[in-house]
Amino acid sequence: MRRSRLIGLTGVCAGALVAGCVGGTEGPTLDEAPPASYDGIQTRLLDDDLVNFRAQMTGVATRADLDAYARCAAAQYTLIRGYAFARHVRTSITEEGGVWVADAVYTISPDLPRGLQTLEAQVVAADCAEQGIPSV
C-alpha cells in the first residue's frame, strides 16, 4: 500500500513539473512574431575595393537573417561594380528596440581573393534572389 501511494505521488509531481514547463512562456512565440522586414541598405565605398554595408531589418528571426541580407547586398554591389568576387572582412550586428543593424565590410575584386570568407558574387546573388532576400 505504501509503495503504490509513493508511485502515485511521484506521478503527480512529474505531471506538475511537465505542466510547469509547458505553460508560462513570456513574450510572443515564433508563430506570433512579426515577419522579417528588410528596411534598407546603405552602401559606402571606403576605398577602391573596400565597401561598407549597413543593412537594417525588423522582425529578425536570427542574426543569420541579417548577415544574409548584408551578404546579398555585397554580392549585388560586386556585380554592379563589374567585379566577380567579394571577401568578407567583418560584420558587427546591433539591436535596439527591435531594429537590427548589420555594419559589414567587404573587399571586392575581379579575381578570387585570398582568404576563407570569399564569395562568388554571381552565385550568391542568384541564391539571394531564389530565397527572396533583396539586395542593393
Instruction: Measure CA of the first residue to CA of the last residue in the chain; give whole Å.
Output: 74
Pairing of strands 37-47, 50-58: antiparallel
pLDDT at 53: 98
Strand partners, 56: 40, 101
* pLDDT averaged over 10-residue windows placed end to end, the chain, 136 residues: 45 43 46 78 96 94 91 97 97 93 97 90 97 89
Grid cell 505542466 is found at 19
**Do you know the residue count of the chain?**
136
**In the numeric block, which cell numbers belong to residue 9?**
505521488
- Three-state secondary-structure class, residue 26: coil
pLDDT at 66: 93
Element (H, E) at 10: helix 2-22
DSSP strands (E only) in the chain? 37-47, 50-58, 85-96, 99-109, 118-120
- Three-state secondary-structure class, residue 33: coil
Assign a CATH topology to domain 37-131. Gyrase A; domain 2 (3.30.1360)
pLDDT at 32: 57
pLDDT at 135: 84
- Burial annotation 102-119 (CB, 10 A radius, 16+ → b, else e): bebbbbbbeeebeeeeeb
pLDDT at 35: 79
